[in-house]
Structure formats: structure tokens, C-alpha cells
């Protein structure tokens, strides 16, 4: 107990001492006590603030958790998944067009002008290089503006990174679809912008943004806008040009410099002021630029809405089979389509057709609605004159030029792909080819006489069938002509009779004509309803080209003539398709195999070719010759329909074939009186062929097939000439002997034609014993025989036939005769361009007055 009492007393004493010590301390240092209280208060407030911040942060995270989580769902690898346009290339890998929903061409950061970067930063996000995706101060300013304007936002707070997030992932529509508000979308933008800043550096973000943003007029991305407004690459943009483009971002359509140049200039100057405030430009620089004009120079990346590009797009979609998927791939995946088109030829064809149709509309006799008279109801009904041009490669069938009509924006009906029009006498080569395939030869005789129009079934009118195929004002009949002359001059009545004869087979009807067309790849015309497929019958007008035909099919059919009987199995325009990296997605089998189909024998194809060549020199196509390039080695066939409402022309070289049509789609009146194809189509042909030469397409002579030989034919009998085939004619007032022959083409060894019965039976003659080759004899056309001349007057009275001549020797010895034979020039038959070629009749030769008997000469007999 004592110990306990002592222990308690000691504890009390210690407590009293501590109390006295504290009392003394307070009395001695009153300031320290107040400091201690403040410290405790600060600690308490700090604790409360931390607690509030923690609770606020917890609450913020609780409220925004769903937005943050939603922002985490986006794959940042997809941030630059742009709708890349499909690029179309020609045969030389030159860009000729684009297919897209958004006109865009990607460009890397290092190929963008620093002026453009500065203008964009000054205009849209001056803290871009320092913030982490969003700008708190900018958000505060925007909130203040919104509150002061009663909820109406007059100032944006989105950084470039936020705008990229919104555009790349379509946040506006996504959040709206979820029922979210504008502010909720902003929160998602902030979270997504922070993620973007964590993954990509500033230069990458700027590159992504400038290649995605819309700059108005359908220009997406800086390169599209730079070319579209100022015709230069982004790396070459000046300060004023960059400021003009940067001003577009706030209102791309309304501020664009082409639509509203003055408004764009004002906003451009506002961007310049911002650049000055940001220290990017000096005041003097800004003041110097502000008065300057915009200086626009639009050279946009072409979307190319045309017949050609629509065809390419549709063919590409068909390749991918699923139309919806195919269209999506073409317009957004950046694929590359390589075509067979030759850009230079395509542009020449488009321009030539446009200029020629305008020229036709200015012709004195033209009375139809014109293309530019858009207010006329007839123009809206497509009753203006139209045309088409189609060019193909002879060996591959690849399309080199494709102009499906006059104006795609006016009417997108494709004449080449979908149209069928009467091609007139351009169809005659296939009638004559049918004849040659069925036993006729170019020497076969045809009746060329007047024919009842009702028999031909053209137009249903009575009267005599006209001779419009000759393409002269007044054609005439020649009674009897060869098949060569019939095609050479596009004789209508003779050709109609030929067709009737060919198709009069009691068992097969016109089956031979159908077979010829089908082998050529041409869809036969509609047969008479009462006939059968096994024994088809046609009105004679079908043989004359008065029935509708496809320009595409007929152009392809003409390739058989330079190919000596073979043609490509089909035409195509797309050779291959690759992805953006160059990996081949599809390759056209036709572009690899170049398969050909046999349409006729090489000899018959060459016969037609040779006749068409002659037609340019002295037949119905001779008026086309001035439009053709120099040293043209191909051939041309014009085609005029009976009512002059449709004209066509086809030309080919050894490398390519071109088809042209000019006429009306919805009208059947003459273009103008006597509107021949040599007037309407020939100028287009000439310009297109000239362009193909500039593009490097060779034009070499078509070689005679190995199975074909030249045969000399006597004009008088139409059979193989003998050494006795000579005729006496007067030339330059002197009697001469000429060899009335020409060269024709037959299969080697063909002896069916027979020997000329008019001039002899083929027995040996003096020419067989001369020291001259047959080639030399035929090339010189001089019979190297000294004539036996009278020594004196042999007639009494008048001499109406020039039997007596003056004696003026040309040769003094046989050697002179040999020299003359080797150097004499050939005597060519000169054809009247207004008259068809035909046999020369002696009665048409005008005889000179009878000469005297003095000085009778020795004359060579010219052949």
C-alpha cells in the first residue's frame, strides 16, 4: 500500500509539473499557439479538399466511365482508313481518270508546304504542338461563351486531334445513333483524342488530318484541294494560297474561292492576321499579301464521268460479281485499273467528234435542233445530231478509244455498248465476202440496172432504187459490172441483186449470209417473220445496211481484213486490276491469250482489202483520201443509209481499226441533203488515225497471204489473160496497142476462171520468144516489136480511122527498141472520179482527124 500511495503521489506531481510547463509556455509564446491552430486548419482544409477531389474524381470517373470505355473500343490502327479513289490507267500507265465517292489523293507530311501547316495551326489549333489531345483553356473559353450566349456556342474548342477523331470514326453520327447529346460526343472526342496522342506523334496526326478533311467542291485532302483550286502540289503552296485553303475548313462550301471568291479572300486575310498574332508572319508581310487577288488556277483531279469511265466502272463491278461489294471496293479501296485505252487517241476522238458535230450543225442545209439549244423540247428528246467513235487493236481486241456519244451529262445512252443503228453501205463488204465464200470471184459479172424500190423494201416508197452508195450527186448504171466494181463503187442495185441471188437457195435461203455475219461476229438482222431459222429470208434492204447493226460488232468484224481472215474473239477494255500496293487481283484472259477466231479464208479477206484500197483511189471512198494521213497503207469503207439520217465509216491499218457513226437516235430525217459519210465521218477518221500515229501505232502495208497469187485478168472477157490480149486504141492522136488487163487475186492453183476466149486460145505467141521476163513485160506495158509500116499511101479518098500516118522514125536500130522497152513508163488507166470503173469501149474513143501519108513513123505498141 505504501508503495502504491507513493506511486500515485509521484504521478500527480509529474502531471502538475507538466501543467505548469504548458502554462508558462503559453504565457511566454502566444504567436506560436496561433500558428499551430492555422496549421491544423490548413491541414483540415487540405484534407477536405483532397477528400472532395477524390470524391469528385470518383464521381467524374463514375459519370464518364461509359464514354471512356466507348472511346477504348475504337481501333487506332483504322484511323487512316480513308476512302481511297480507284485510279484508272491507260495502256502506257498514264492516269486517265478516277472513280470515287470522295475525291482524294494521299500525300505524306514531308510533301506539304510549311505555309500550309502554319496556316492550319493558326486557324484551327494554335496550341497543337503542346497540348495532349485537348485544350482545357479552349474548353473553358468555349464554355464561357456558351453560358454568356444562353447556351448558343459561338466558339469551338475542338483541337485538330479532336477533329481527326470525330471525322475518322464518324463520332457525330455514332453518338447520335446511341441517343447521345453534343456534349457527350465532345467527351468521347476528348478521350479518343488522348488515345490518339499517346499512339501517334504530332507530324503523323497532322498528316492524317490534312489527308482526310473536306475542302469543298468535293475535294477531300490537301492535294485534291491544292490542285483543285491552285493547280499545284501541296509542297508548292504559297502563304496566301495556304491561308485561302485553311479558311475553307470552317465552311467548305460557302467559303470556297471558286463559288465565292470575295468571301474567301476576306477569310483568307483573317487567317493571315491569326498567323501574325502567332508569330508566323510579320506585320509587313501580312499587309503586303492582303491586297493581292486569289489567282486561282483550277486543275482538279478528274472524276471523269463519261461513257468510257462509266463503262470501266461497270466492267470492274461485274468482275467482283457482287454488285454492292464490287462498288464499295472500287470506290474506297484504292485499287488500280489498267486499261487498253490510249490516252492520246481517246482525247483526239472526243475532240474530233465534238468539233465535227458542231460543224455539221453549221452546214447550210441543216435544219434540225442544235445541241446547245437546250430550251428546245426537241433537244430534251435527244433529237439533236449525235455520234460515236470506237477504236480497237487488231491483234488483241483491246479498246484504244471509246466515245459512246456526244454528251454523257445530257444523255448517258451508250451508242457503242447499247445502240444499234443502220450503218448503210458500210455493210456491203460482208455481202461480197459472203459471195466470195460461196463461189463468186471479184471477176463475176453483176447486172447493174435500174431496180424497183419496192423490191428492195426500202422506205416503202415507189420508184427507182437510188444509187446513194456511190456518194456522188448523180450515180449512174453501167449495165454489166464485176463484183469488184460493185463493191468498189458501193453499187446499190447490183448489190441488192447479188444478195437476192445468193439467198435464193431453195433449201437454205439466206443461211449463207447469216453464217457469214455470225463468223464475223455480227448479229444478223431480223429475218422475215414467215421464214424459219433453218431457211431464213431477208428483205433486200438487209444486204444494203438499212437494218440496225452494232457499231462495236461491225468495227470488230472489220479487223478480219488486215488480219487476213482472222479477228479477235472479243473486245475488252480492262487488262488487269491490282490493289494499291500493286498486287494483281484480276487479270483479263483475253489480254493474256489474244485468242483469234477465223472468219473467212485469207484469200477472200485480202480480196476485200484490195477492193477497199481501190475504192479510196477511184471508188466511193475517194473523197475520204484528203483526210487520211500521208502514206496511209490501210483501207476505208464509208457507209451512207438511204435516207441520209445515218452515216458511218470504218478505217483500218495493220495495227488498229476505227469505226465512226454520225446520225440521229430519235429522228429519221436527213442530216441534210446528200449528207454522205465522206462528208460527216471522214474528218473524224482522219484525226483519230493521225493521233494513233503520234502514239506510235505502225501502219505498214497488209501483206498478201501465202496462199494467194496475182492473176492477170483480161477486162474484155473477165477471164485469165493470154499473151494475145491486146487492144488497139488512139492515144495522143496516135494508134497504140494496150494490154486491157488488170491484176486480180485468187487462191494458188485455182484454175476455175478459164482462159480469155476473146483474144486467143492460149497458144504460143511472139512474146513467148522474147528475152523479157513476164514481170518486165507487165511493168513496162510496151510491146517490143517493130511494127511493119506501109511505104506509101495505101488508101484512096478519106481516112476516117487514121490508117495512114506521117513517117517520122523513132528507132534507127533494134537496140533502140530494147532500150525503150526497158525504160518506158507504164500506162495506167485513168478513172473519172465521177464515173465508176468499167471496161473501156472503143466507140467512146474520140478519133483524131486523118493525118497525111508523108513521113510515116515507126511507132511502139504501148501495152
* pLDDT exceeds 90 at position 318: no
User: What residues does 445 pair with on adjacent strands?
Assistant: 482
Cβ-contact 568, 307 below 8 angstroms: no
DSSP E strand boundaries for 616-722: 635-640, 646-652, 656-663, 708-714
Q: Which of the two residues, 37 and 711, has the higher pLDDT score?
A: 711
Q: Which of the two residues, 706 and 463, has the higher pLDDT score?
A: 706
For the ranges 56-70, 380-394, 485-499, the lowest mean pLDDT is seen at: 56-70
User: How many angstroms separate the CA atoms of 167 and 627, rounded?
Assistant: 56
Helix or strand or coil: residue 438? coil
Among 858, 639, 568, 844, residue whose Cα is nearest residue 730: 844
User: How many angstroms separate the CA atoms of 31 and 42, rounded?
Assistant: 17
For the ranges 61-70, 404-413, 441-450, 524-533, the lowest mean pLDDT is seen at: 61-70
Helix or strand or coil: residue 275? helix
Going by pLDDT thresholds of 50, 70 and 90, the confidence category of residue 479 is confident
Given this model, what pLDDT does residue 745 score? Answer: 95
Given this model, what pLDDT does residue 560 score? Answer: 97
* pLDDT exceeds 50 at position 124: yes
Per-residue pLDDT of 77-88, as tens digits, reads 888 877 778 899
* pLDDT exceeds 50 at position 409: yes
User: How many angstroms separate the CA atoms of 407 and 404, rounded?
Assistant: 9
CA atoms within 13 A on the CB side of 248: 28
Among 695, 713, 803, residue whose Cα is nearest residue 754: 713
Going by pLDDT thresholds of 50, 70 and 90, the confidence category of residue 694 is very high
Given this model, what pLDDT does residue 793 score? Answer: 58
Given this model, what pLDDT does residue 410 score? Answer: 84
* pLDDT exceeds 90 at position 245: yes
User: What is the pLDDT averaged over residues 404-426?
Assistant: 91
Given this model, what pLDDT does residue 39 score? Answer: 74
Eight-state DSSP code of residue 699: -
Residue with grid cell 460527216, as numbered in its chain: 680
Cβ-contact 301, 227 below 8 angstroms: yes
CA 149 to the chain's CA centroid: 58
CA atoms within 13 A on the CB side of 574: 25
Q: Which of the two residues, 317 and 466, has the higher pLDDT score?
A: 317
Q: Which of the two residues, 331 and 617, has the higher pLDDT score?
A: 617
Cβ neighbours of residue 328 closer than 8 Å, sequence gap 6 or more? none
Given this model, what pLDDT does residue 811 score? Answer: 41
* pLDDT exceeds 50 at position 819: no
- Distances 707 to 16, 308, 464, 702, 751 between C-alpha atoms, Å: 143, 41, 42, 14, 14
User: What residues does 701 pair with on adjacent strands?
Assistant: none
Per-residue pLDDT of 79-116, as tens digits, reads 887 777 889 999 999 999 888 777 788 899 999 999 99
Going by pLDDT thresholds of 50, 70 and 90, the confidence category of residue 829 is very low
Among 651, 466, 442, residue whose Cα is nearest residue 554: 651
User: How many angstroms separate the CA atoms of 671 and 386, rounded?
Assistant: 11
Eight-state DSSP code of residue 399: E
Given this model, what pLDDT does residue 402 score? Answer: 97
Helix or strand or coil: residue 578? strand
* pLDDT exceeds 80 at position 725: yes
User: How many angstroms separate the CA atoms of 187 and 133, rounded?
Assistant: 12
Per-residue pLDDT of 540-591, as tens digits, reads 889 999 999 999 999 999 999 999 999 999 999 999 999 888 899 999 999 9
Per-residue pLDDT of 789-812, as tens digits, reads 555 555 566 655 555 544 444 444
Cβ-contact 836, 478 below 8 angstroms: yes
Given this model, what pLDDT does residue 407 score? Answer: 87
Cβ-contact 741, 721 below 8 angstroms: yes
Going by pLDDT thresholds of 50, 70 and 90, the confidence category of residue 46 is confident
* pLDDT exceeds 70 at position 517: yes
Given this model, what pLDDT does residue 359 score? Answer: 95
- The cell numbers describing 745, all together, are 487475186
For the ranges 62-66, 497-501, 768-772, the lowest mean pLDDT is seen at: 768-772
User: How many angstroms separate the CA atoms of 812 and 858, rounded?
Assistant: 9
* pLDDT exceeds 80 at position 349: yes
CA atoms within 13 A on the CB side of 346: 24
* pLDDT exceeds 80 at position 664: yes
For the ranges 189-203, 245-259, 709-723, 843-857, the lowest mean pLDDT is seen at: 843-857
Per-range mean pLDDT, top range of 10-14, 90-94, 780-784, 813-817? 90-94
Given this model, what pLDDT does residue 3 score? Answer: 58
Given this model, what pLDDT does residue 279 score? Answer: 92
Mean pLDDT of the chain: 82
DSSP E strand boundaries for 201-350: 219-220, 336-339
Given this model, what pLDDT does residue 232 score? Answer: 93
Cβ-contact 487, 497 below 8 angstroms: no
Residues, the chain, total? Answer: 863
Given this model, what pLDDT does residue 734 score? Answer: 81
Per-residue pLDDT of 156-207, as tens digits, reads 568 999 898 888 888 887 777 777 777 778 888 888 888 999 999 999 999 9
Going by pLDDT thresholds of 50, 70 and 90, the confidence category of residue 825 is very low
What DSSP string describes 507-570? Answer: TTBTHHHHHHHHHTT-PPPPPPTTS-SSS----GGGGGT-SEE-HHHHHHHHTTTTTTTEEES-
Helix or strand or coil: residue 238? coil
User: What is the pLDDT averaged over residues 20-24?
Assistant: 65
User: How many angstroms separate the CA atoms of 666 and 677, rounded?
Assistant: 19
Given this model, what pLDDT does residue 4 score? Answer: 57
- Distances 777 to 727, 822, 862, 863 between C-alpha atoms, Å: 16, 9, 11, 9
User: What is the pLDDT averaged over residues 696-709?
Assistant: 94
- The cell numbers describing 579, all together, are 490493289
User: How many angstroms separate the CA atoms of 498 and 719, rounded?
Assistant: 20
Given this model, what pLDDT does residue 32 score? Answer: 56
Q: Which helix (H) or strand (E) holds 479?
A: strand 479-482
Given this model, what pLDDT does residue 854 score? Answer: 41
Alpha helices (H) in 86-135, listed in sequence order: 114-124
Among 806, 427, 333, 480, residue whose Cα is nearest residue 639: 427
Given this model, what pLDDT does residue 817 score? Answer: 39
What DSSP string describes 359-379? Answer: HHHTSTT--SPPTT-TTSHHH
Given this model, what pLDDT does residue 393 score? Answer: 97
Residue with grid cell 474528218, as numbered in its chain: 683
* pLDDT exceeds 60 at position 766: no
Calculate what percentage of the chain has a pLDDT beyond 70.
79
Given this model, what pLDDT does residue 780 score? Answer: 37
Model pTM above 0.95: no
SS (H, E, C) 803-863: CCCCECCCCCCHHHHHHHHHHCCCCCCCCCCCCCCCCCCHHHCCCCCCCCCCCECCCCEEC
Cβ neighbours of residue 760 closer than 8 Å, sequence gap 6 or more? 722, 723, 724, 725
* pLDDT exceeds 60 at position 516: yes
Phi, psi of 244, rounded to the nearest 5 degrees: -65, -40
For the ranges 239-253, 301-315, 546-560, the lowest mean pLDDT is seen at: 301-315
User: How many angstroms separate the CA atoms of 87 and 98, rounded?
Assistant: 5
Cβ-contact 499, 540 below 8 angstroms: yes
Tell me whether residue 282 is exposed, middle or buried, using C-beta atoms within 10 angstroms of its C-beta: 0 to 12, 13 to 18, 19 or more. Answer: exposed
Amino acid at each position: 500500500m505504501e508503495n502504491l500511495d507513493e506511486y500515485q503521489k509521484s504521478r500527480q506531481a509529474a502531471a502538475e509539473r507538466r501543467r505548469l510547463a504548458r502554462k508558462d509556455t503559453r504565457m511566454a509564446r502566444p504567436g506560436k499557439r496561433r500558428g499551430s491552430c492555422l496549421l491544423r486548419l490548413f491541414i483540415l482544409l487540405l484534407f477536405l479538399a483532397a477528400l472532395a477531389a477524390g470524391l469528385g474524381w470518383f464521381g467524374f470517373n463514375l459519370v464518364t466511365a461509359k464514354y471512356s470505355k466507348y472511346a477504348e473500343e475504337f481501333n487506332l490502327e483504322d484511323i487512316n482508313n480513308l476512302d481511297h479513289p480507284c485510279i484508272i490507267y491507260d495502256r502506257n500507265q498514264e492516269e486517265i481518270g478516277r472513280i470515287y465517292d470522295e475525291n482524294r489523293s494521299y500525300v505524306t507530311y514531308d510533301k506539304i508546304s510549311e505555309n500550309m501547316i502554319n496556316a492550319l495551326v493558326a486557324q484551327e489549333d494554335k496550341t497543337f504542338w503542346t497540348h495532349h489531345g485537348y485544350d482545357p483553356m479552349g474548353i473553358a473559353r468555349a464554355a464561357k461563351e456558351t453560358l454568356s450566349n444562353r447556351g448558343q456556342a459561338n466558339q469551338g474548342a475542338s483541337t485538330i486531334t479532336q477533329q481527326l477523331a470525330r471525322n475518322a470514326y464518324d463520332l457525330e453520327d455514332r453518338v447520335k445513333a446511341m441517343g447521345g447529346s453534343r456534349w457527350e460526343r465532345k467527351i468521347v472526342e476528348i478521350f479518343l483524342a488522348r488515345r490518339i496522342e499517346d499512339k501517334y506523334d504530332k507530324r503523323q496526326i497532322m498528316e492524317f488530318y490534312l489527308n482526310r478533311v473536306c475542302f469543298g467542291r468535293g475535294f477531300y485532302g490537301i492535294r485534291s484541294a491544292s490542285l483543285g483550286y491552285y493547280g499545284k502540289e501541296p509542297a508548292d503552296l504559297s502563304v496566301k494560297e495556304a491561308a485561302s485553303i485553311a479558311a475553307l475548313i470552317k465552311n467548305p462550301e460557302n467559303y470556297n474561292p471558286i463559288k465565292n471568291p470575295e468571301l474567301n479572300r476576306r477569310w483568307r486575310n483573317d487567317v493571315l492576321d491569326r498567323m501574325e498574332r502567332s508569330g508566323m508572319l510579320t506585320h509587313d508581310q501580312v499587309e503586303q499579301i492582303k491586297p493581292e487577288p486569289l489567282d486561282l488556277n483550277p486543275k482538279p483531279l478528274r472524276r471523269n464521268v463519261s461513257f468510257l469511265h462509266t463503262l470501266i466502272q461497270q466492267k470492274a463491278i461485274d468482275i467482283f460479281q457482287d454488285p454492292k461489294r464490287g462498288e464499295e471496293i472500287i470506290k474506297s479501296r484504292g485499287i488500280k485499273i489498267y486499261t487498253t485505252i490510249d490516252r492520246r487517241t481517246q482525247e483526239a476522238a472526243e475532240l474530233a467528234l465534238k468539233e465535227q458535230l458542231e460543224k455539221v450543225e453549221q452546214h447550210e442545209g441543216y435544219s434540225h435542233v442544235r445541241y446547245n439549244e437546250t430550251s428546245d423540247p426537241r433537244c430534251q428528246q435527244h433529237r439533236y445530231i449525235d455520234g460515236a467513235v470506237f477504236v480497237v487493236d487488231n491483234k488483241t481486241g483491246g479498246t484504244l478509244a471509246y466515245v459512246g456519244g456526244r454528251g454523257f451529262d445530257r444523255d448517258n445512252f451508250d451508242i457503242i455498248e447499247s445502240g444499234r443503228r443502220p450503218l448503210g453501205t458500210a455493210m456491203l463488204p460482208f455481202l461480197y465476202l459472203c459471195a466470195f465464200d460461196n463461189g463468186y470471184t471479184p471477176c463475176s459479172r453483176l447486172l447493174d440496172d435500174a431496180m424497183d424500190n419496192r423490191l428492195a423494201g426500202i422506205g416503202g416508197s415507189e420508184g427507182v432504187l437510188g444509187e446513194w452508195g456511190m456518194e456522188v450527186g448523180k450515180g449512174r448504171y453501167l449495165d454489166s459490172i464485176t463484183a469488184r466494181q460493185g463493191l468498189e463503187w458501193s453499187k446499190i442495185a447490183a448489190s441488192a441483186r447479188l444478195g437476192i441471188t445468193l439467198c435464193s437457195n431453195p433449201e437454205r435461203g439466206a443461211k449463207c449470209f447469216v453464217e457469214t455475219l455470225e463468223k464475223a461476229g455480227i448479229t444478223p438482222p431480223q429475218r422475215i417473220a414467215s421464214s424459219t431459222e433453218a431457211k431464213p429470208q431477208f428483205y433486200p434492204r438487209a444486204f444494203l445496211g438499212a437494218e440496225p447493226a452494232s457499231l462495236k460488232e461491225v468495227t470488230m468484224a472489220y479487223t478480219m481484213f488486215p488480219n487476213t481472215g482472222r479477228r479477235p474473239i472479243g473486245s475488252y477494255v480492262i487488262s488487269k486490276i491490282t490493289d494499291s500496293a500493286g498486287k494483281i487481283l484480276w487479270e483479263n484472259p483475253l489480254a493474256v491469250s489474244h485468242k483469234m477466231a477465223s472468219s473467212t479464208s485469207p484469200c477472200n479477206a485480202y480480196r476485200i482489202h484490195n477492193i477497199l484500197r481501190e475504192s479510196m483511189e477511184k471508188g466511193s471512198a475517194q473523197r475520204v483520201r484528203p483526210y487520211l494521213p500521208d502514206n496511209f497503207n490501210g483501207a476505208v469503207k464509208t457507209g451512207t443509209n438511204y435516207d441520209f439520217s445515218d452515216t458511218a465509216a470504218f478505217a483500218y491499218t495493220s495495227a488498229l481499226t476505227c469505226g465512226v457513226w454520225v446520225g440521229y437516235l430519235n429522228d429519221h430525217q436527213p442530216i441534210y441533203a446528200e449528207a454522205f459519210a465522206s462528208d460527216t465521218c471522214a474528218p473524224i477518221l482522219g484525226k483519230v488515225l493521225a493521233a494513233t500515229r503520234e502514239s506510235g501505232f505502225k501502219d505498214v502495208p497488209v501483206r498478201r497471204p501465202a496462199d494467194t497469187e496475182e492473176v492477170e485478168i483480161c477486162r474484155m472477157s473477165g477471164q485469165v489473160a493470154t499473151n494475145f490480149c491486146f487492144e488497139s486504141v488512139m492515144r495522143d492522136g496516135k494508134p497504140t496497142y494496150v494490154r486491157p488487163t488488170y491484176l486480180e487475186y485468187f487462191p494458188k492453183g485455182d484454175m476455175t476462171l478459164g482462159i480469155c476466149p476473146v483474144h486467143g486460145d492460149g497458144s504460143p505467141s511472139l512474146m513467148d520468144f522474147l528475152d523479157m521476163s513476164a514481170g518486165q513485160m507487165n511493168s513496162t506495158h510496151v510491146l517490143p516489136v517493130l511494127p511493119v509500116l506501109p511505104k506509101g499511101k495505101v488508101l484512096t479518098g478519106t481516112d476516117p480511122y487514121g490508117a495512114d500516118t506521117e513517117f517520122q522514125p523513132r528507132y534507127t536500130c533494134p537496140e533502140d527498141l530494147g532500150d525503150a522497152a526497158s525504160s518506158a513508163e507504164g500506162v495506167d488507166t485513168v478513172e473519172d472520179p465521177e464515173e465508176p470503173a468499167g471496161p473501156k469501149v472503143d466507140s467512146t474513143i474520140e478519133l483524131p482527124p486523118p493525118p497525111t501519108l508523108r513521113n510515116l513513123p515507126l511507132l511502139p505498141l504501148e501495152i
